[in-house]
Structure 1
């Protein structure tokens, strides 16, 4: 099963010290300690438990952008990928039996004739909300070597029973032997991004590539580093993104970066696999499809569920309005109207994922 994949827009984890029931504290890069009500993943998960999610039946013609029917080839690809497992929601056995007859000319007609869209709406005591948060993740690149050298100094560790019991502080203090390193990278922040994404592609010194895949994590709580930088006044709230955080890291003094990353006691461990053009596996156990696979909160949306998303594009003035399938889950993906879009591999995907943090609408598309 594919591990927890974490959105790049949410960014990282930290150990927050509980000062009182509703307050936590972080150490800022300049040494100050600030109190905040920003919560970690555990608290967010509790907060989003038992939400009242309503499904409002609609017609496909009511879905924004549906009539455009974009990129049927990638839609066929994600449906075919979904059918590689039997662990699918009700009605999908029939869909998979009939999928051999689908092509780029009839796939949208098939969906219209055999599925029904339901818009998700969250009811609270004060309001009815039909919008949720959409972020993105990707398979990042990191330069790696099997051996530690003057250039490759930063360990990417393998998973073990001992590893999962240690905090970041303990690991960085020598809690794991160097022999436990799977690879060594040439950039500490690239390691951090790899932890956030949950998987990536290692570029070896000879120019070849290797998959670096999630194998496990420790038990520490997850809190956004981007939020810590915001709470500390280092980056304005509207400017928080992967590029702005990387720029901050590049300009920071070593002690400032260590204070920031010291808040982050969550730690991720990896395994390697021969590289091919196929994307990483999601939690459903099938390869993810670029801009067609979603990570969701499986308390509310079963893996394998078809969905429709309408959300602003992070890099231009257009909109993302198309079919996706829920094939993954993530530790930071909490809530009914909440999803993480898989953007693919490499720098271009990273640019998309690094800036994706928008409100949008969400529909489930269920077999009749």
Structure 2
């Protein structure tokens, strides 16, 4: 997910508390979501720490230019032994292989020769997959240009909202397709102008994809850049669709949490703190929303049972895998690169193989990643709390 999809991570929480899904609705959607929820649930809860690798691995490769692609210009890669990667002998690699197969749909040039083996090894044992990685890849510790290897891990997710095709009965907040003149007027109207100016509303007439209940939940959807809707159709049926990022008004992103802090209205700018403030001050919610002038437009995508097991397409152009896809600074780590991620904190203990498949406006720097947690309320809760230390190792072809 491009643009605002990862912006929350650096300065604004994710808003999971606003994204509740009715049990009645879930029962209607159960057959479609069953496969997806089984796949996702294993990644949403905090994971136990993996033990360090016990078996010494091959010596580091010689220092020098990386094959197949120029060296990144915002990070330094230091070749290391496999034994430096915490938990390498304990990760469930088959979970990451699904993400790797997706990356092979649009591989970076350096990884094209490996994708045949990646597909062949999708049914191999973890030991076989591990041995192949040691044989064909060289781990590089990712550092800043100043030599710092410690960084920051945050999380992002897909909100899941109830919606309706027509406004009314509490569904009063529109989600819009891009206006026809979006490319000719830059920047486009601000969020406040979209809500108040007749000329802006006229440009958006007839362009609503659907309507949701909660303006704050809609803001969270804008920040994340993509989401799932359970849409009530005109005939009374309910259909699951995805709304994907299709553009912005080109206005700057401003954190509503920062606005509340600067106004002295809250001390806790996490979403629980913001939620408590909005419930106590409903008359000022609109003012808070207008503090962020950035507005996101969407496109509707169908969501069948297979698509539902994966997230939206990231900046690499492939669907994201819950718990195995990360957003990175592409000037530090190229898209499609397998990465070893190690992070410990109160929210999650992570030592695992992930794929660099996305980016975001707030994901800047050498050792910086946003971890895709999945979709819905549980994923939003994990993503909203995830802010902890990070170390990364890029795995590059020998």
1:216–1:348 distance in 2 versus 1, CA, 3 Å: same
Residues 273-284 of structure 1: matches in 2 within 5 Å? 273-276=301-304, 277=308, 278-284=310-316
Higher helix share: 2
Residues 76-155 of structure 1: matches in 2 within 5 Å? 76-86=97-107, 88-90=108-110, 92-102=111-121, 103-105=124-126, 106-124=128-146, 128-155=147-174
Structure 1 residue 208 corresponds to structure 2 residue 239: yes
Structure 1 residue 184 corresponds to structure 2 residue 211: yes
SS at match of 2:89: helix
1:170–1:12 distance in 2 versus 1, CA, 3 Å: farther
Displacement of 1:73 = 2.1
Displacement of 1:289 = 0.6
Structure 1 residue 196 corresponds to structure 2 residue 228: no
TM-score, with normalisation over the residues of structure 1?
0.81
CA contact (8 A) 2:170 2:213 kept: yes
CA contact (8 A) 1:12 1:264 kept: no
RMSD: 2.2
2-structure distance, mates of 1:9, 1:343: 12
Displacement of 1:363 = 1.4
1:160–1:359 distance in 2 versus 1, CA, 3 Å: same
For these two proteins, the number of residue pairs brought into alignment is 320
TM-score, with normalisation over the residues of structure 2?
0.75
What are the ranges of 5 or more consecutive residues in structure 1 without an aligned counterpart? 14-49
2-structure distance, mates of 1:328, 1:115: 22
1-structure distance, mates of 2:101, 2:174: 37
What are the ranges of 5 or more consecutive residues in structure 2 without an aligned counterpart? 14-71
Displacement of 1:322 = 0.8
1:147–1:12 distance in 2 versus 1, CA, 3 Å: farther
Residues 1-368 of structure 1: matches in 2 within 5 Å? 2-4=1-3, 5-10=5-10, 53-69=75-91, 71-86=92-107, 88-90=108-110, 92-102=111-121, 103-105=124-126, 106-124=128-146, 128-163=147-182, 165-173=188-196, 174=198, 175-177=200-202, 178-205=205-232, 206-236=237-267, 239-254=268-283, 256-276=284-304, 277=308, 278-315=310-347, 318-368=348-398
Displacement of 1:247 = 3.0
Displacement of 1:346 = 1.1
CA contact (8 A) 1:51 1:336 kept: no
CA contact (8 A) 2:152 2:390 kept: yes
CA contact (8 A) 2:103 2:336 kept: yes
Which aligned runs of 4 or more in structure 1 are off by greater than 4 angstroms?
none
CA contact (8 A) 1:7 1:137 kept: no
